[in-house]
A and B are shown apart, each in its own frame.
Chain A
Amino acid sequence: QSALTQPASVSGSPGQSITISCTGTSSDVGGYNYVSWYQQHPGKAPKLMIFEVNNRPSGISNRFSGSKSGNTASLTISGLQAEDEADYYCNSYTSSRTVVFGGGTKLTVL
């Protein structure tokens, strides 16, 4: 049950686009389309932003999009806004019928 690999931090200016990667193995990210992404502001509970690789829950801005290629999933945020500054986590279902998270990525809006 090794954690998925995310960059520790990314940054971008308002209006720009950024991408956060999430790398696993063929036993998790690469083997299933059950990859999701969460946004967490300090002191708050996480919020689902993307599910099943590239689907947005109702109410989530279309500035957020997800994709997957092989064992790596990605979250792209376009038109960066100050309110997007937060921690972002990916997670995946695994072949062991468990769930694994990435270590988290801190997004800074410059």
Chain B
Amino acid sequence: EVQLVESGGGLVQPGGSLRLSCAASGFTFSGFWMSWLRQAPGKGLEWVANIKQDGSEKNYVDSVKGRFIISRENAKNSLHLQMNSLRAEDTAVYYCARGGAQFDPWGQGTLVTVSS
């Protein structure tokens, strides 16, 4: 069974940092683009970033460029999102998903709250 499990969410002050991780199982992780997406409370879905199979290409939504870094460790079947200079508007449930532009499946999500 394909499974994605996010971790690392929590409460952080504005300007702070947080590192999210996603553990993948049930498929050949190194063979797929992977993505992070988010959903602010009561709002719609937003794509955040994606990364190519070998990590050689990374793309970001404009609002996180220069602040967030997506990375992967194929040997550990893991996806990461380093989030720096966090803002209140980054508050959301963050999902990892298999795929670069079409996403299946999604993890259960991890909540990031940016507040003082």
Which residue numbers of A lie inside 8 Å of B, CB to CB? Answer: 1, 3, 34, 36, 38, 40, 45-48, 51-52, 57, 89, 91-93, 97-104
Shortest Cβ gap from B57 to chain A (Å): 8
**Contact, CB under 8 Å: B109 / A45:** yes
**Contact, CB under 8 Å: B103 / A100:** no
**Contact, CB under 8 Å: A48 / B59:** no
Work out how many contacts link A and B, with CB atoms closer than 8 A.
60
Known: A45-B107, A51-B102, A92-B101. 16 other contacts (CB 8 A): A36-B101, A38-B103, A40-B45, A45-B105, A45-B109, A46-B106, A48-B102, A57-B104, A91-B101, A98-B47, A98-B60, A100-B47, A101-B44, A101-B45, A101-B46, A101-B47
**Contact, CB under 8 Å: A103 / B44:** yes
Chain B interface size band reads 20 to 34
Does B61 count as interface, using CB distance less than 8 angstroms? yes
For the complex, give the distance between the alpha carbons of A93 and B59 in Å: 12
Does B1 count as interface, using CB distance less than 8 angstroms? no
Q: Point out the residues of chain A lying under 8 angstroms from B29, CB to CB.
A: none
Task: Known A36-B102, A45-B95, A46-B106; judge A98-B45 contact (CB<8 A).
Answer: no
Which residue numbers of B lie inside 8 Å of A, CB to CB? Answer: 35, 44-47, 50, 59-62, 95, 100-109
Instruction: Give 27 pairs: A residue, B residue, CB < 8 Å, sorted on A.
Output: A1-B61, A1-B62, A34-B101, A34-B102, A38-B103, A45-B106, A45-B107, A45-B108, A45-B109, A46-B103, A48-B105, A57-B104, A89-B44, A91-B45, A91-B101, A93-B101, A97-B59, A98-B47, A98-B59, A98-B61, A99-B100, A101-B45, A101-B46, A101-B47, A102-B44, A104-B44, A104-B45
Secondary structure class of chain A's binding surface, majority of residues = strand
Shortest Cβ gap from B55 to chain A (Å): 15
Q: Point out the residues of chain B lying under 8 angstroms from A38, CB to CB.
A: 45, 103
Q: Point out the residues of chain A lying under 8 angstroms from B60, CB to CB.
A: 98
